[in-house]
Amino acid sequence: MAKKGDHRHGPVRKDIRPEATDRRWAPLNVGFMVTSMIGFFVSVLYVKKFSVPMAIAFAVVFACMFLASMVSMSRASPDAQLGARPIK
């Protein structure tokens, strides 16, 4: 029988501060998303002619980039992107 405070895979660590586990979503710019889309299509359409495994690897990387940009777009606050920038 498990003791109180134990979970299925072991006890919960008490030494980790709760604020250390907070997630903060960073807004990514539009260039990141455009690069992921162009890179995906280039790898699928052009790199495939030279090496199919390389095309699959590049397509996976660019698909992950696109997924990251979609998560960033839906979860991040736009205030960080639209905030005032210092004039140089």
Domain boundaries along the sequence of the chain: 40-75
pLDDT tens, residue by residue, 10-56: 666 666 666 555 666 667 788 999 999 999 999 999 988 899 999 99
3-state secondary structure the chain: CCCCCEECCEECCCCCCHHHHCCCCCCCCHHHHHHHHHHHHHHHHCHHHCCHHHHHHHHHHHHHHHHHHHHHHHHCCCHHHHCCCCCC
Band (pLDDT 50/70/90 cuts) for residue 59 is very high
